[in-house]
Amino acid sequence: MIHNLTVNVPGQGLHDITDQVKQAVASVVSDTDIFNGLCTLYIQHTSASLLIQENYDPSAKADLESWLNRLVPEHDPIYTHTIEGPDDMPAHIKCMLTATSLSIPLVDGGLALGTWQGVFLWEHRHSSNSRRVIMHVGR
């Protein structure tokens, strides 16, 4: 079953979407008899990505954001794709280095995430955005 998620983000950074995904999974489970299977998430953008990461200590999130921004800096003179602003080409590179899809087992009607794992949308642009994530739940 397909479910479309809209995720509004205020700007660059890691945004925890675990609760939104869990609510969507619960909706699918209540409408179907799928209790065990696979939840696949796919983001339809080239300047944002998805990942599973620690959701307990905020310093882990801050360290990841700082590290990736240091790895892929803005205003690098090597970039030629600059028409959309100084954060656009770095956003494409960051997206390439991370992931546009995730697969999470569905066990007993819920996401089989570990104790400190959360699902994050990683917005790579500075501006606020509305991002589309397609969720597929199946056996």
How does pLDDT run across 95-109, given as a tens digit for each residue?
999 999 999 999 999
Kindly report the CATH number assigned to the domain that includes residue 117.
2.60.120.460
How does pLDDT run across 44-96, given as a tens digit for each residue?
999 999 999 999 999 999 999 999 999 999 999 999 999 999 999 999 999 99
Q: Tokens 């959701």 belong to which residue?
A: 55
Total domain count, the chain: 1
DSSP string, 32-70: SS--SEEEEEEE--SSEEEEEEE-S-HHHHHHHHHHHHH
- Show the domain range for 100: 2-138
69 burial type by CB count under 10 A (0-12 exposed, 13-18 middle, 19+ buried): middle
